[in-house]
Structure formats: structure tokens, C-alpha cells
């Protein structure tokens, strides 16, 4: 599995995912770093089959309207501790791997639960 962590996602998560063998980059590793447009980030993620991990609701809106990015983990928890976010992602890594078999999916992480939604078609 491959991940692209958006600007407000900690490098600690990137590091933990890499330690588990996942090809993971942070948006600041892209040519325009945190200045990269959402459209560029979506296109890059889709072209390289990466799952975007973000707190930015613009990606969620784009997923439902344009079905890009194709694979998205939307964090709805605000400023939580990095360790908590890492625990949530790593604690659900097997479910994420299963969803990654679908061409399109969104995972929303809230304080009370995690919602998994997969789609077989673009629209």
C-alpha cells in the first residue's frame, strides 16, 4: 500500500507507516511542497495509486463530487495527539488494506467511530 500524508499530518505517522513497509510520503516531499494545489495532490495520488490521509474537508468534497482522490482517509478529529492518530491508523491497517482492493473508497475517522465506504465505480 502507498500513502500520501497531507500537510497537517505528522511526519511521525509517515515514519511509522514506512517502518511497517508501506511506501509513504508527505506532501512536503512533492515538488511544490505544501504549496501544492489540492488538484495536483489528487492527480498525483491517483496516478501513483496512493491513499491520501488528510484533515482537509476539500478532499472529501472532491471525492464525492469528482471521485478524486480515488482513495481517501479523512481525519475529523481536529488537533489530536500524534500518538492517538498513529494508533487509530495502525489499529485499522488490515481494514485499510482490504478496502485498498476497491478502486474508490473513503474512510472517515471521528471521535466515536470509523466509517468505511467503498465504491466500485467512479460515479
How confident is the model over 59-110, as pLDDT tens digits? 999 999 999 999 999 999 877 889 999 999 999 999 999 999 999 999 999 8
pLDDT at 11: 97
Closest-CA residue to 3 (of 48, 59, 33) = 48
Q: Is the peptide bond before 69 cis (omega within 30 degrees of 0)?
A: yes
Domain that holds residue 108: 2-119
Tell me: pLDDT of 123 over 90.
Answer: no
Which three-class secondary structure state does DSSP give residue 12? Answer: helix
Residue % of the chain over a pLDDT of 90: 80
Question: Which triple of cell numbers denotes residue 13?
Answer: 505517522
* Long-range contacts of residues 93-99, Cβ cutoff 8 Å, at least 24 apart: 93/20, 96/1, 96/51, 97/1, 99/71
Q: What's the whole-model pTM score?
A: 0.93
The count of domains in the chain is 1
Do β-strands 114-119 and 23-26 pair in parallel, antiparallel, or remain unpaired? unpaired
Amino acid at each position: 500500500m502507498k500513502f500520501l500524508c497531507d500537510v497537517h499530518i505528522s511526519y511521525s505517522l509517515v515514519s511509522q507507516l514506512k517502518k511497517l513497509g508501506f511506501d509513504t510520503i508527505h506532501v512536503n516531499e512533492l515538488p511544490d511542497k505544501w504549496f501544492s494545489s489540492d488538484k495536483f495532490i489528487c492527480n498525483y495520488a491517483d496516478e501513483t495509486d496512493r491513499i491520501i490521509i488528510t484533515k482537509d474537508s476539500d478532499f472529501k468534497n472532491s471525492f464525492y463530487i469528482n471521485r478524486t482522490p480515488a482513495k481517501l482517509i479523512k481525519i475529523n478529529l481536529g488537533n489530536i495527539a500524534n500518538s492517538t492518530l498513529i494508533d487509530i491508523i495502525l489499529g485499522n491497517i488490515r481494514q485499510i488494506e482490504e478496502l485498498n482492493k476497491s478502486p474508490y473508497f473513503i474512510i472517515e475517522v471521528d471521535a466515536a467511530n470509523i466509517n468505511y465506504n467503498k465504491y466500485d465505480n467512479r460515479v
